[in-house]
């Protein structure tokens, strides 16, 4: 099973990422200790040349990690037919104890890698490399995450056993069950939708302010992270039921299946992208010294707000086109 092409691609991407980031972390320690743009020392000149090569390699690895999350979920959904009890990606992920931790860590890597890419792009665009130290400090936080995610992913795929009977969404995302999945499924759908669209309105109100003041840009980024959690709860407790037209079906993975028009991708791609951009705006605002946000930060804020709106519109369409009535 480990020789399945998507699994081999994920494991290869994981191995390459761990190797590159291990070297990048060692280089980051040198940067944090010796980096001085005002110095004409030979060591500084050598580091300035080397940082272009290292940053390029790390940028490619970060882009690889963004794609790895999508491939991980798609592959898990594709393999559901191989395991007894699995109906979707959730069943495949739950085949052993390494799947869910690997998946959650991959999500954390996705957002952290996105922030690093945004900070790196801003640093590369400036003539004096003002964010070199911060971006390599962030790399020291990112490298252990990628290492842990990679190890768990290897353990997950190496321990896949088609003879195992797994638990899927029909048992986990049910109000009668136990655990966090059951708690999310049993959340009040009306309250979840009020929080979802109220939070969206708050983000849209913060966006113009974030384009003017650094403090509001930080607030916008933090609000985007909170909204992500609210959106996931709303998808599980309410929006997914509208899509399935069944009040007892709350799975956040089945909505990515073809029989539901792949609407899950239309929900998750803008939501994840908008959240990553909002976190990037907060990071840039924290690292910049000026009170007025830069043109780059204003563009990121506008793009994040637009993607949040797109997510909201897809959610509204899913609700309005459904034949299900959860409440009057």
| Mean pLDDT value of segment 75-83 | 83
pLDDT band at 233 (very low <50, low <70, confident <90, very high): very high
Give residue-wise pLDDT tens across range 148-194.
999 999 999 988 888 777 777 666 666 665 667 666 767 788 999 99
| Mean pLDDT value of segment 57-68 | 89
Q: What is the average pLDDT value for the chain, to the nearest integer?
A: 86
Task: Give kind and range of the element (H or E) at residue 243.
Answer: helix 240-244
pTM (2 decimals)?
0.90
Tell me the C-alpha distance between 194 and 254, whole Å. Answer: 24
Q: Is the pLDDT of residue 130 over 70?
A: yes
pLDDT band at 74 (very low <50, low <70, confident <90, very high): confident
Do the Cβ atoms of 304 and 206 come closer than 8 Å? Answer: no
| Mean pLDDT value of segment 229-239 | 93
259's CB contacts (< 8 A; 6+ apart) are none
Give residue-wise pLDDT tens across range 22-47.
988 998 888 888 777 767 677 777 77
| Mean pLDDT value of segment 50-68 | 87
| pLDDT given for residue 44 in this prediction | 72
Tell whether the torsion through CA atoms of 226, 232, 237 and 238 is positive or negative: positive
| pLDDT given for residue 182 in this prediction | 66
| Mean pLDDT value of segment 117-130 | 84
Most confident of 36-50, 162-176, 223-237, 246-260: 223-237
Q: Is the pLDDT of residue 291 over 60?
A: no
Tell me the C-alpha distance between 268 and 328, whole Å. Answer: 27
| pLDDT given for residue 175 in this prediction | 62
Tell me the C-alpha distance between 256 and 73, whole Å. Answer: 10
Token reading at 78: 């594709």
Alpha helices in 40-188 (DSSP H): 42-78, 89-93, 99-125, 132-158, 169-172, 180-185
| pLDDT given for residue 111 in this prediction | 95
Tell me the C-alpha distance between 243 and 315, whole Å. Answer: 9
| pLDDT given for residue 280 in this prediction | 93
184's CB contacts (< 8 A; 6+ apart) are 173, 232, 233, 236, 237, 250
| pLDDT given for residue 194 in this prediction | 93
């Amino acid at each position: 099973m480990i020789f399945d092409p998507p699994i081999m691609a994920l494991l290869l991407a994981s191995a390459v990422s761990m190797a590159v980031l291990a070297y990048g972390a060692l280089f980051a320690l040198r940067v944090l200790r010796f980096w001085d743009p005002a110095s004409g020392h030979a060591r500084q000149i050598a580091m300035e040349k080397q940082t272009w090569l290292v940053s390029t390699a790390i940028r490619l690895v970060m882009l690889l990690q963004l794609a790895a999350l999508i491939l991980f979920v798609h592959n898990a959904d594709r393999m559901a037919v191989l395991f007894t009890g699995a109906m979707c990606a959730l069943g495949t992920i739950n085949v052993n104890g390494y799947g869910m931790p690997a998946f959650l860590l991959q999500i954390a890597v996705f957002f952290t890698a996105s922030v690093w890419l945004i900070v790196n792009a801003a640093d590369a665009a400036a003539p004096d490399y003002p964010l070199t130290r911060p971006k390599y400090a962030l790399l020291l936080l990112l490298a252990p995450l990628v290492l842990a995610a990679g190890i768990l992913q290897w353990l997950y795929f190496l321990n896949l056993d088609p003879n195992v009977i797994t638990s899927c969404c029909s048992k986990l995302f049910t109000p009668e069950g136990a655990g966090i999945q059951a708690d999310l499924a049993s959340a009040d759908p009306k309250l979840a939708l009020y929080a979802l669209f109220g939070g969206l309105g708050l983000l849209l109100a913060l966006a113009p302010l974030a384009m003017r003041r650094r403090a509001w840009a930080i607030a916008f980024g933090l609000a985007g992270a909170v909204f992500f959690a609210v959106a996931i709860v709303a998808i599980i407790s309410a929006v997914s039921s509208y899509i399935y037209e069944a009040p007892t079906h709350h799975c956040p993975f089945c909505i990515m299946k073809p029989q539901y028009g792949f609407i899950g991708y239309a929900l998750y791609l803008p939501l994840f992208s908008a959240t990553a951009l909002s976190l990037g705006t907060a990071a840039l605002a924290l690292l910049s010294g000026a009170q007025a946000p830069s043109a780059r930060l204003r563009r990121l804020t506008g793009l994040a707000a637009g993607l949040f709106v797109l997510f909201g519109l897809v959610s509204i369409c899913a609700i309005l086109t459904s034949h299900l009535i959860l409440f009057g």
